[in-house]
Structure 1
Amino acid sequence: MKKRTWLIAAFLVLIPTLFLFWLSWEVQPALPAPWNNALIILGLVVAGVLAALSGIADTLQIAERLGGRQAADRDGEEAVPQVGERGIHVGGAADVVISGDDNVVLVLQQASQKFLDTLSRPEPDLAEASRRYFQFLLTKYRNLDFRGMGVSDRLPLRLELLEMYVPLQARIERPKGETWVRDLRLAGRKPGEEEAEIIGERVSERPVLELLQKHSGLIILGDPGAGKTTFLKYLALLLALGQGEALGLGPRLPVLLPLSDYANQLSNGNVPLDTYIETYYRQAVSDNGEFPVAKLLQTALAQGRALILLDGLDEVRQEHLRRTVVDRVEDFFALQKQRGNKFVLTSRLVGYKEVRPAADDLQECTLMDFGEEEIAQFTRQWTRAVARAAHGQTKQAAFDAAQEEADLLAAIHKNPGVHRLAANPLMLTILAVMKRQDVVLPERRVELYEQYVKTMLKHWNLARGLGKRQAHDLDVVETVRVLAPLALWMHETSPGKGLVKEGAMRRQLTQIYRDRGVADPEPVARQLLEDTHKETAMLLERGMGQYGFIHLTFQEYLAAVGIAQKGQLGIEPVVQSLAARIDDPNWHEVIQLTIGYLGIVQGYETAASQVVQSLLAQKPGEAGQVEVLMGMTACDVGEHGLTPACRQAVVDALLAAIVDDERVTAAQRAAAGDTLARLGDPRPEVMDVDAMRFCYVPPGPF
């Protein structure tokens, strides 16, 4: 309620109260019986009425706050409650915080009542069942999970998922007559042939939530870290808080399940999906037999008030089980959608084609990488949430958040490589965690990639879906020594896409261990694949029988490390590897990272400089190409990655390329000029206005 309304209400209560006080003090003693007693009774009645009115007003205000019916925020969106450490945070213009565990209980009770109001003749015990069920969802999913991302114990990172969530965009199938709006990138790479076939001509970008509102079922496809599981948790949380109307779905019972666990049950016998749902939640929620979770789920499904959230079809490893799971889901969907229930299923792209469901009103979509707007929104929400966790709702928190936001965005936009990583929600989160941990984010991306790889290999035992976690420490140095030549082979085999067949990769990894002198390399190779898949998710199965790194950047960085490893006894193998690939754009990033790794990470600036000067002397590839590439490398590694003599040699090579109009194309000469400007053009006639040569142009047409 508005402030003015409360001032008026207070005035209306205060005036009659003062009047009654005056009557009881001055008039009542002077009146004869029975009028004096009548006046006392009248005062009590009026006071009771005023108290009742005040209580009703308070109740209405609390109901407004708990129900999320505050004024819409500045963008005109409906306010959504968010659960804090000991209360509910309601967004919007009022930005109200309703503290206390009791109010959390009230919100859950209200959400339960909203859901029950949509049911036809609900049984009495469903009220407590739904409240406890919503409490379970709230407890399980309300905070973001930072385990395995290198978060130190000293930093209290208990951030609400609802406060941090950034709406996802997805491509759906292209309407006839439309063309591609922009090149599609998945985890920093172009889609492979199979992925492109699955995606088809999807170009029309829509909010994922909008697609769910319009269709009975939604299949969400995307790479690891794209936000598939987070979206399901977001839906479950808001429905548990009674915000179905805000989602455009109405009050519903969210049912979130890992399909990998269902597949395990199917491997042991014929288990219908509805039976599995009841068993899963009875074991997860119930602490005794008195909680009728099965009856709650049955009632919601029977009356069309359920939202079934099926996570991780790709996590079903065996193809025959995956087909069986899809068959059961299709049958279940066909029956339940007629009752009004809705479905969401998530999967990676690779391996999906073989088991693609076919059903009416089942919409497929592919998640997009974050764009500039989403990156900025995440950064703003992240810095504000972390500052509030540390300092509360204070001016200091606001100041710190603004400073952190500016610093983080600057780190993201400083070079294209970091920006590519930030387009993936998971990679952006890890970057933000590293920044918040007082890790000074290097300006040179080769150092940042090194920190990323070490963080993921050392700390991340995070399961990407809803299943159980395992913990297994990896030897970071030894793992990098093995992954580097493997990444180099993968980049040679599948440049720019990074997908290789499992069998070929196992053979290559076995050969790497054999070359390292391992007596029995096959089980060691198998264990490394299992560790990097389950414990780090650095190298993972993207689909049926195909592996790749979680982001193309890591393949490029580790491939560069693999090339640098060849130079332990001399630079010639490194020079030969780089010279052979100067003309291939898929290798330009690897070439720059190789020289950066030698000069910055390993500290061998003399060796890095010899590689650069050897390439400039050989002039491989298109005329002017190597000069431009070495100039970009010199800009990237900075002053301490190459010797001063090498940097001068690069400048001289660029100056020569600019004026070599017989051998170098105009496009390459322009690129050389741009690179020289970044590196530092030494020519005074170009950089100094006083030294510039001007010619007189007479007035008139010319």
Structure 2
Amino acid sequence: MPKRRESIAELQAKIASLENLRPELGDDIVNQKIDELRARIQASGASAKSRKRASQRGQSLHSGDSSVAVQGDINDSAIFHAQTIVIADRFWRGQTASLPVPDLKQATASYLAYLVDRHNYLSLKGMGVADRIPLRLPLLDVYVPLKARLELPEGETWKRDLSLAGRLPTDEDSQPLRLSEPLPLLNILSQRSGLIILGDPGAGKTTFLKYLALLLARGEGRLVGLEDRLPILLPLAAYANALQEADVRLDDFIAEYFSDIGADHSIGPMLAEALRAGRALILLDGLDEVRDLNLRNTVVERVMDFFAFHRRPGNKFVLTSRIVGYRAVRPSAEGLLECTLVDFDDSEIEEFVQRWMAAIEKQAQGDTDVARGDADQDRRELLDAIYQNAGVRRLASTPLLLTILALMKRQGVTLPERRVQLYDQYVTTLLSTWNRARSLSGRAPSRDLDELQTVRVLAPLALWMHEISPGVGLVKREELGRKLEEIFKEQGSPSPANAARQFLQDVREHAALLLERGPGEFGFIHLTFEEYLSAAALALKGQGEAKPIAEALLRHVGEQAWRETTLLTIGYIGVRQQLSKVAGEVVELLAGSKDGAPGEAAVLAGEAVLDTWPGGVPLQSKDRVLLALAPTMQKAEVHPDLRRRAGLLLGRLGWRPPDLDRFMEIAAGEFLFGAKKDKVRIENRFWIAKYPVTNGQFARFVQAGGYQTRALWSDIGWAWRTGKYDERTLETIERDWLDHRPQTRRNAPYFWYNIELGNPIFPVVGVSWYEAEAYCNWLAKNVVAVPDGYTVRLPNTTEWEFAARGQNGHEYPWGDGFDKTAANTWDSDIQDAGLGGTTAVCTFPQGTSPAGAWDMSGNVWEWTCSWYDDDRRYRVVRGGSWIGYQWFARAAFCNWSIPLTFNDDLGFRVAIAPLESL
């Protein structure tokens, strides 16, 4: 019932809006639209069952008759279509015309309504993934503005990623530093009468034209620096078809092209009048889709004639093309400017993901708080997937790839681990589905590439390029031609030279996977494709046998340029070919190998398992790799980077120390306390947790509703949790911490969603003292059995130090001298390697305390229950951290922090100890 009242209120509000438009629209139109809306109010009295059924039909493009599916959209757009008359009236107001102005207004309103209906929603045809997912995403909601440089690249795309092989960049590699600064494309257009936009496939050229057409059709051109203009959007391939039949002028073709859009009024004369008045924006899409060079030259000649004539009254023009084949017909005319689209930067990627996730969840759940929360979670997860892997990040620089990423995320594909599926989908999209569907003309390409045959050629070619020039991605044209001939000869081609020449032309023009990257140099459009197709070649060469594949990969263990190819090879076998047993045998051979530096092959095997699990390798193979990773993490002779990566992998693959929940008993007794080594006695035995609390352990508290359970929190802790604490008169330092963590971020640790800091066997960080206290209370009530007179709490500072240094007063848990291999501090081996972060709590057996506790020096500061000062403003923290030097990691060192703090180097461990006032 509330939803029904809301719907009626919306309809009544629309009626009121129409009344306000009565002076401009006239009584006849307003009365007609109001009658329609009142009829809808009466119809809303239908049964709940009928409403639900109609709602379900309106949300899906694939749930029955299409006329029913979009009926809601048609009704909801009725007012806007009425407003097109207002826009048309504004457009022609004050204009002198050779046609009656009322007819022009009616034709213009019909035409604008057509454009809105045609381009209001983003087209997802040809994406493969989207074809099976009903989505209607408003283009204006998801569009991210593009940028361009006012120049052309040396080759057929910008140079990218030429120094990934670990070599120093040459002057040639640094060429992008000498390029002009990218400018917003809308700014360029607003200042020029003619613009040619060049770009890679999937860079957003056609969508940009649709965006312009839609904005202007809605009367919103001024929002992007364009005055009221009539947009005329058409594909040049359609014009080329017409030229093959007769030598038709572009003016005449435009009138003919829009003659059959279902309008009640003649569109052609109206468009001609707009051109005569200098009020049009001509949007010509896809010069590259005119495949025949002679015909493409003819199209360019006719377009330049059109431009020269219609530019004089003040019309604007935009033409788009891929770079491939453009130079052969490069137009030249006064007032015409060329620009080339550039890749998205990080901020634009983040805006794209935010807009897409918000639009998807809004369609699925409506404009609700739940939808916004889910969208924010999806946004974080997808951005993590993009930034975790260099290959994914490289491809995420274009709207097409980001679209496929977003759709695969919606479909539940795990990224970046299952990126082999992403790359496979992207290659398929470029070679077939999108290449056919992208064109505004609706025409299939003149030569349709056979996907399987194309990959059969590209894969061995990519492997050859990767072997002779790993990580660089460039070869000379002559060498490329000879290799293609060799491949076609091996595959039995009767004319290898002709086949090679035709293949290179086709794959450049139709898929743009392999392009001229500089004068006489060819490479894949992104290095990622070279890596992926090299992996496909290795997998296919193995023919289902693990040993030859493993031998080929082991030759390159330790070579950074081969790391991603190795992972993708195993992913291709296990996921793409679904030969999980073979993939499992390969990772086992890797894990047991001594190739490369100590532990390197084992970590590579672990990363491959992570990419393919679950399903890509058998459980037995996964377990064997875990057995190799655990000692890799803990051995001092293994490079610190590999030790930390081994810990990350173990956590993400589900391994846990078997004694993770163990407490170490510490008998009552006397020990040497503090820097002065005063004798202090502990009167009662207690137990200290063997490890700091991990994210995996803390997750049980979160999942059990610990943040929502008032009984687990102290009064002041609950005030902090619910935001009441913020209302107090506070010191500046407290206010700063609260401002950086609003109440909405106090329902989980601050770094809970960070892929590394949140690893299940890494110490939980980003927790205030109050959260640590609540966790202890939950543990006492739900998990740990404690003796009478004892409780689960944070250790006090004396207990903590006794557990860390033992009775003899050692400087560090392991002894009196600092050992760089025994702890994670700023001057330890781990941080000397520039890793900058926490490590798994079970990384350093060398740093074990006399009581058997791990990680009491470095990694994270640990909260205690002791006050640091008599005013009870600061709590004692102990142990040092990955940010601190060895001095702070001494067992005797005592530091402090306000209870609100939530740093990324601050955690805690628990104790079972006598009851104590906190």
Fold-level match, TM-score > 0.5? yes
What is the CA deviation profile of residues 390-414 of structure 1, one whole-angstrom value per residue up to 9, with x for unaligned ones? 2333444334333333333333333
1:25 maps to none
Cα distance in 1 for partners of 2:19, 2:571 equals: 70
Distance of aligned partners of 1:285 and 1:337 in 2 relative to their CA distance in 1, 3 Å threshold: same
Deviation per residue, 1:619-641 (Å, 9 max, x gap): 5xxxx6x9768746644643866
Alpha-carbon displacement from aligned partner over 1:74-100 (angstroms, at most 9, x marks no partner): xxxxxxxxxxx99xxxxxxxxxx9963
Classify the secondary structure of the residue corresponding to 2:343.
Answer: coil
Could you say which residue in structure 2 is the equivalent of 1:210? 187
Distance 1:54 1:481 in 2: 61
- Asked whether 1:606 is paired with 2:585, we answer yes
Partner of 1:560: 535
Which residue in the other structure is 2:38 paired with? none
Change in Cα spacing, 1:549 to 1:370, as seen in structure 2 (3 Å) is same
Which residue is equivalent to 2:95?
A: 119
- C-alpha change, 1:462 and 1:139, in structure 2 (3 Å) is farther
Give the corresponding residue for 1:107. 83
Q: CA deviation at 1:572?
A: 4.7
2:250 match:
273
- Contact 2:108–2:270 (8 Å) recurs in 1: yes
Identity among equivalent positions (%) equals 43
Give 3-state SS (helix, strand or coil) of 1:429's partner: helix
- Give the Cα–Cα distance (whole angstroms) in 2 for the partners of residues 676 and 410 of structure 1: 17
Report if aligned partners of 1:112, 1:130 keep a CA contact under 8 Å in 2: yes
2:300 maps to 1:326: yes
Counterpart position of 1:684: 845
RMSD of aligned Cα (Å): 5.1
Question: Residue 387 in 1 paired to residue 361 in 2?
Answer: yes
Matches within 5 A, 1:407-426: 407-426=381-400
CA offsets 1:278-311 (integer angstroms, 9 cap, x no match): 33333x5367xx8433322222222211111121
Counterpart among 136, 148, 152 of residue 170 in structure 1: 148
Match 1:335 to one of 297, 309, 325: 309
Q: Deviations over 1:119-173 (max 9, x none)?
A: 3235222222222222222222221112232356774311111221111122235
1:179-258 matches, cutoff 5 A: 201-258=178-235
1:149 is aligned to 127
Which secondary structure state, in structure 2, belongs to the residue aligned with residue 559 of structure 1?
helix
Give matches, 1:13-24, under 5 Å.
Answer: none
DSSP-derived class of the 1:167 partner: coil
Whether the 8 Å contact between 1:598 and 1:605 is mirrored in structure 2 is: no
Q: Is the 8 A contact 1:595 1:611 kept in 2?
A: no
TM-superposed CA distance for 1:209, in Å, is 0.5
Native 8 Å contact 2:546 2:585 kept in 1: no
State the structure with bigger RCO (CA 8 A, min sep 6), 1 or 2.
1
Shift of 1:592: 4.0
What SS does the corresponding residue of 2:324 show, helix, strand or coil? Answer: coil
Post-superposition offset of 1:369: 1.7
Once the two structures are overlaid, the 10-residue window that deviates more, 414-423 or 498-507, is 498-507
Q: Which residue does the alignment assign to 2:637?
A: 655
How far has the Cα of 1:650 moved from its partner? Answer: 6.2
Tell me what 2:274 maps to. Answer: 300
Cα distance in 2, alignment partners of residues 54 and 105 from structure 1: 13
> Which among 398, 401, 405 is matched to residue 431 of structure 1?
405
Does structure 2 conserve the Cα–Cα contact (< 8 Å) formed by 1:596 and 1:608? no
Deviations 1:439-471 (A, max 9, x none): 444535345435655677786564323122549
Query: 1:450 and 1:509 mapped to 2: Cα distance?
Result: 22
Partner of 1:44: none
Which of the two has greater helix per residue? 1
Residue type at the aligned position of 1:167: P
Q: 2-side partners of 1:356 and 1:528: how far apart?
A: 24
Give the stretch that moved more between structures: 164-173 or 568-577: 568-577
Stretch deviating more after TM superposition (254-263 or 600-609): 600-609
Structure 2 CA distance, aligned partners of 1:656 and 1:476?
A: 44
In the aligned structure 1, how far is the partner of 2:294 from the partner of 2:585? 56
Match of 1:171, as an amino acid? R
- Alpha carbons 2:193, 2:336 under 8 Å: kept: yes
Q: Distance in 2 between matches of 1:444 and 1:530?
A: 32
How far 1:214 sits from its partner (Å)? Answer: 0.9
Aligned AA (2:585): T
Q: Which residue of 1 aligns with 2:625?
A: 643
Amino acid at match of 1:329: V
1:128 aligned to which of 92, 106, 122: 106
Distance 1:118 1:188 in 2: 52
Is the 1:609–1:646 Cα contact (8 Å) retained in structure 2? no
In 2, the alpha carbon distance for the partners of 1:187 and 1:118 equals 50
Retained in 1: the 8 A contact 2:602–2:625?
no
Where do 1:288-687 residues align within 5 Å? 291-441=265-415, 443-446=417-420, 448-450=422-424, 452=426, 460=434, 462-470=436-444, 483-489=458-464, 491=466, 512=487, 515=490, 537=511, 539=513, 551-568=526-543, 569=545, 571-572=547-548, 575-576=551-552, 579=555, 587-597=562-572, 602-603=579-580, 604-611=583-590, 616-617=594-595, 619=596, 631=603, 634-635=606-607, 637-638=609-610, 643-644=625-626, 646-647=628-629, 655-656=637-638, 674=835, 682-685=843-846
Post-superposition Cα deviations, 1:554-611, rounded to whole Å, max 9, x if no partner, equal 332121121233334564576457737966x655432443355457764323323435
Q: Matched residues in 2 for 1:196 and 1:321: separation?
A: 37
User: 2:575, 2:77 → 1: CA distance?
Assistant: 52
Alpha carbons of structure 1 residues 411 and 582: separation in structure 2 relative to 1, 3 Å: closer
Matching residue of 1:39 = none
Displacement of 1:473 in angstroms is 11
State the 1:208 CA deviation.
Answer: 0.6
* Distance change in 2, residues 1:489/1:323 (3 Å): farther
1:159 paired with 2:148, answer no
Q: Verify the 8 A CA contact 1:557 1:593 in the aligned structure 2.
A: yes
With 226-235 and 648-657 compared, the bigger mean Cα shift is at 648-657
CA distance in 2, matches of 1:316, 1:631: 50
Q: 1:118 to 1:326 in 2, by over 3 A?
A: farther
Q: Is the 8 A contact 1:257 1:310 kept in 2?
A: yes
How far off is 1:494 after superposition? 7.7
Q: Unaligned regions of 5+ residues in structure 2, if any?
A: 1-15, 31-57, 60-72, 164-169, 614-620, 642-828, 849-853, 859-884, 891-918
Question: Structure 2 CA distance, aligned partners of 1:596 and 1:377?
Answer: 30
Question: Structure 1 residues 331, 527: closer, same or farther in 2, change over 3 A?
Answer: closer
Contact 1:533 1:539 in 2 (8 A): yes
C-alpha distance 467-57 of structure 1, shift in aligned 2 (>3 A): closer
Deviation per CA, 1:16-39, whole angstroms, max 9, x where unpaired? Answer: xxxxxxxxxxxxxxxxxxxxxxxx
8 Å CA contact retained: 2:474, 2:523: yes
| Cα pair distance change 1:237/1:419, threshold 3 Å | same
Structure-2 separation of matches of 1:397 and 1:59: 37
Distance 1:267 1:646, change over 3 A: farther
Deviates more, 1:638-647 or 1:459-468: 638-647
C-alpha spacing 1:452/1:130, structure 2 compared with 1 (3 Å):
same
Provide the rounded CA distance (Å) in 2 between the counterparts of 1:134 and 1:54.
Answer: 20
- The answer on whether the counterparts of 1:556 and 1:590 sit within 8 Å (CA) in structure 2 is yes
Of 364-373 and 481-490, the range deviating more from structure 2: 481-490
The code of the aligned residue for 2:213 comes to A
Which residue does the alignment assign to 1:139?
Answer: 117
Distance change (3 Å), C-alpha of 1:326 and 1:454: closer
Q: 1:435 to 1:347 in 2, by over 3 A?
A: same
